[in-house]
């Protein structure tokens, strides 16, 4: 106890002194207040804080406060160098990336950051012996070499256009090699991640809280302003709201959506509706044998016209979503606006009649408790479909793992004609969204649960995957988006936002557009 108090005090002193000096970086920190504890309440207890095993943004956003990677995304989703010092040089065949590294950076345990450390970080991710490691697309890496102390050479197995964007994922984060044998860590499993980030882990009580202490030697131009950040685990959304209203928390994530209007009115609180990359949709079984009419694109388009998405956004999501005008969110590289399916039940009815689909029956499925208001949205969709004469069985629901087991099946075992699902790419590139529109990802090979297949689209995606010219890539994705929009394998519902609420006593709270909050450089107001 007394030692950590001493450390906190020392951090405070150093922070005050550093502030006074204005720092060595370009951003001035004069006028920014320091000290104290920031309490943040989140909804899920992170399963692991090991960067290599990250699967959820809830856990990764905490890891991001302690461990950094070569490239990161900024608040707008653009890729920026973090531990790299600049964009990499790419060989003409697209197979070799030469990454220049930042110099003079130290890990929080004092050991130096260099190419050897970076290499070890990536090797660890790719090593199948690492516990629960999920390299995902990064398994395209063939080898990593430290050509010298400040240069890293990464060789790929095949050309992968969005490689740098893929490096912004938390799983590529770089740990201090020396820390792999300390504090209960092993090379295969890390419990206490030690990185170059502005915070270090001080304490963790499973299921209750994670306490982080400021890294007084953080290299960045922006500095951590709070001495401690206390991350409380509060799975119940009204409990989080109760906490911030009773003063038990300064920042909360995802309050009950129905309270957002009231919270916005509260003069002591600020609501930040952060952009997210998650699209929510009703996915049709485009090869359904139980309802073959769904194989016709006109029928699927008609059902898109039948649903009043604006009303759903307003009344079921309480304004916490943005309408879709493309099969992906605006935050992705490769997005372009392709159209709308305005609410028009009359048109829907006539289109259905023309296709001989009036009064058809659809089996609808939805998870409960996986996405905000999921079952409510599905119920609302069922009601709109009902209004244009469709008989809807369901929405049948179950808990998430059961539901996932029901929809993530090959076409022959499909349980539903239509099901509700969300999709949030791991990094902000259209290629990730198009995982949902390519037939080589039909389960069990992937999660294309619409079983959609259009050779034009597949062709465009494959070209874009290796396309080095960024503008050409964008155009290819744009064309593919237009085709997908027309084929309507989904009812394109909305792109949900990520609400963060904080008190007027805090400033500098921001977010990344992939559902991660950012309080690293927050400060007292």
Please check whether residue 84 is in contact with residue 70, taking contact to mean a CB–CB distance below 8 angstroms. Answer: yes
To another protein, the closest distance from the beta carbon of 20 in angstroms equals: 33
Q: How far is residue 16's CA from residue 146's CA, in Å, rounded to a whole number?
A: 38
To another protein, the closest distance from the beta carbon of 240 in angstroms equals: 8
**Which of 258, 295, 350, 458 touches another protein (CB under 8 A)?**
258
Q: Does position 304 bind another protein by CB under 8 A? A: no
Q: Which residues neighbour 524 within 8 Å (Cβ) at sequence distance 6 or greater?
A: 33, 34, 35, 36, 225, 226, 505, 506, 507
Find the binding residues for another protein in span 395-434 (CB under 8 A).
Answer: 395-406, 408, 425-426
DSSP state for residue 220 in the 8-state scheme: S
**Which of 48, 114, 454, 497 touches another protein (CB under 8 A)?**
48
- Lookup: tokens for 379: 């119920």
- Lookup: tokens for 99: 């990454």
**Which of 119, 124, 223, 245 touches another protein (CB under 8 A)?**
245
The partner residues of 499 in beta bridges, in order of sequence, read: 273
CA angle 388, 391, 393 (to 5 degrees): 135
Q: Does position 375 bind another protein by CB under 8 A? A: yes
Nearest CB to another protein, comparing residues 314 and 472: 314
**Which of 34, 69, 216, 240 touches another protein (CB under 8 A)?**
240
To another protein, the closest distance from the beta carbon of 486 in angstroms equals: 26
Nearest CB to another protein, comparing residues 339 and 369: 369
Three-state secondary-structure class, residue 174: strand
**Which of 110, 235, 359, 466 touches another protein (CB under 8 A)?**
235
Angle between helix 345-354 and 297-306 (nearest 10): 160
Nearest CB to another protein, comparing residues 100 and 422: 422
Find the binding residues for another protein in span 118-137 (CB under 8 A).
Answer: 128, 131-132, 134-137
Binding range to another protein, per CB under 8 A, among 23-31, 410-418, 442-450, 480-488: 442-450
Q: Does position 207 bind another protein by CB under 8 A? A: yes
To another protein, the closest distance from the beta carbon of 495 in angstroms equals: 17
Convert 342-382 into a string of H (helix), E (strand) and C (coil): CCCHHHHHHHHHHCCCCCCEEEEEEECCCCCCHHHHHHHHH
Please check whether residue 411 is in contact with residue 445, taking contact to mean a CB–CB distance below 8 angstroms. Answer: no
Burial class, 293, CB count within 10 angstroms (exposed 0-12 / middle 13-18 / buried 19+)? middle
Q: Does position 230 bind another protein by CB under 8 A? A: yes
CA angle 119, 135, 112 (to 5 degrees): 25
Q: Does position 256 bind another protein by CB under 8 A? A: yes
Nearest CB to another protein, comparing residues 232 and 482: 232
């Amino acid at each position: 106890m007394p030692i950590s108090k001493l450390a906190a005090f020392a951090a405070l002193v150093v922070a005050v002194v550093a502030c006074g000096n204005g720092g060595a970086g370009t951003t001035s920190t004069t006028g920014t207040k320091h000290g104290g504890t920031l309490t943040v309440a989140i909804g899920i207890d992170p399963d692991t804080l090991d960067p290599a095993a990250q699967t959820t943004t809830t856990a990764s956003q905490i890891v991001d406060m302690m461990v950094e990677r070569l490239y990161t995304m900024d608040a707008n989703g653009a890729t920026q160098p973090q531990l790299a010092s600049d964009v990499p040089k790419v060989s003409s065949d697209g197979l070799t990336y030469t990454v220049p590294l930042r110099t003079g950076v130290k890990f929080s345990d004092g050991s130096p950051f260099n190419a050897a450390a970076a290499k070890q970080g990536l090797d660890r991710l790719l090593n199948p012996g690492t516990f629960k490691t999920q390299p995902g697309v990064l398994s395209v890496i063939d080898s990593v070499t430290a050509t010298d102390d400040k240069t890293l050479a990464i060789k790929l197995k095949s050309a992968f256009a969005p490689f740098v964007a893929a490096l912004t994922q938390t799983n590529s984060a770089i740990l201090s090699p020396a820390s792999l044998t300390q504090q209960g860590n092993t090379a295969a499993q890390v419990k206490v991640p030690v990185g170059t980030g502005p915070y270090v882990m001080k304490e963790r009580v499973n299921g209750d809280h994670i306490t982080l202490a400021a890294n007084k030697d953080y290299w960045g131009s922006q500095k951590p302003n709070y001495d401690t950040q206390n991350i409380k685990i509060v799975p119940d959304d009204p409990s989080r709201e109760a906490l911030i209203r009773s003063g038990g928390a300064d920042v909360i994530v995802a309050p009950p959506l129905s309270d957002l209007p009231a919270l916005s009115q509260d003069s002591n609180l600020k609501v930040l509706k952060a952009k997210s990359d998650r699209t929510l949709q009703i996915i049709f079984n485009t090869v359904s044998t139980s309802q073959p009419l769904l194989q016709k694109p006109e029928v699927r388009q008609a059902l898109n016209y039948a649903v009043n998405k604006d009303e759903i956004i307003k009344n079921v999501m309480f304004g916490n979503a943005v309408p879709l005008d493309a099969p992906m969110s605006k935050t992705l590289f490769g997005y372009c606006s392709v159209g709308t399916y305005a609410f028009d039940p009359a048109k829907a009815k006539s289109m259905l009649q023309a296709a001989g689909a009036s009064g058809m029956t659809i089996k609808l499925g939805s998870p409960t408790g996986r996405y905000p208001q999921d079952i409510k949205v599905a119920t609302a969709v069922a009601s709109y479909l009902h209004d244009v004469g469709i008989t809807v069985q369901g929405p049948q629901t179950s808990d998430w793992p059961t539901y996932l087991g029901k929809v993530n099946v090959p076409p022959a075992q499909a349980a539903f004609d239509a099901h509700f699902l969300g999709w949030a790419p791991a990094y902000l590139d259209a290629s990730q969204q198009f995982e949902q529109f390519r037939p080589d990802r039909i389960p069990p090979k992937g999660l294309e649960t619409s079983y959609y297949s259009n050779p034009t689209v597949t062709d465009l995606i494959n070209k874009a995957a290796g396309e080095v010219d960024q503008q050409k890539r964008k155009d290819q994705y744009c064309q593919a988006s237009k085709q997908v929009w027309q084929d309507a394998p989904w009812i394109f519902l909305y792109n949900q936002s990520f609400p963060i609420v904080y008190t007027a006593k805090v400033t500098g709270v921001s977010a990344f557009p992939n559902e991660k909050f950012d309080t690293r450089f927050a400060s007292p107001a």
